[in-house]
Amino acid sequence: MAIRPILRMGAPVLRAVAAPVADVTAPAIRALADDMLDTMAAAGGRGIAAPQIGVSLRLVMFWAPLADPDSRSRDHAVFTILANPVLELVDPVEVEDWEGCLSVPGLAGRVPRARGLRYRGLDLDGAVVDRLATGFHARVVAHECDHLDGILYPQRMTDLGTLRFLDAADPVQD
């Protein structure tokens, strides 16, 4: 387990489509997940994707609320590790809200995202994860999965005029 450097916007791996995880139960994938967790925790993030630490594989992890779709508190959030995720829109109405990113440090912007989606993938034991997500939960999942397709949140913004620098007291987080 190690804290790895988080790549920043401009790194080529962050612009690439990540490869599928061939064997989610492989010890190397569990070690990668451990490093991702340590790195995310050290940075104070809500989620992280393998490309953010330089590994072009379709693996994400995140804290997202299940009960209250608009809650940003980790007190009522579930931790999820997801390999080879697939997203399906279930409520395509877009809602705009603030997003930040560990790979775009010190900035936040308003990003439109679908209000509801279904996500499927595998956990590290090979079990299927299949959930519906709305509100903030859907936003977190979509943000992390975007990393697997080489997309950073500024590419989703419709008004770059909302891009701003964060203060230490600003609540916007990844």
Q: Per the residue annotation, which of 88, 96, 99, 144 is the catalytic one?
A: 144
Q: Is 144 a catalytic residue?
A: yes
* Alpha carbon distance 171, 8 (integer Å): 21
- 42 contacts: CB under 8 Å, gap ≥ 6: 3
Q: What share of the chain is helix, strand, coil (3-state, %, to 5)?
A: 25, 35, 35
Residues 43 and 6: beta-carbon distance below 8 Å: yes
43 is written with which tokens? 């940075």
Per DSSP, what are the bridge partners of residue 46?
A: none
Residues identified as active-site = 144
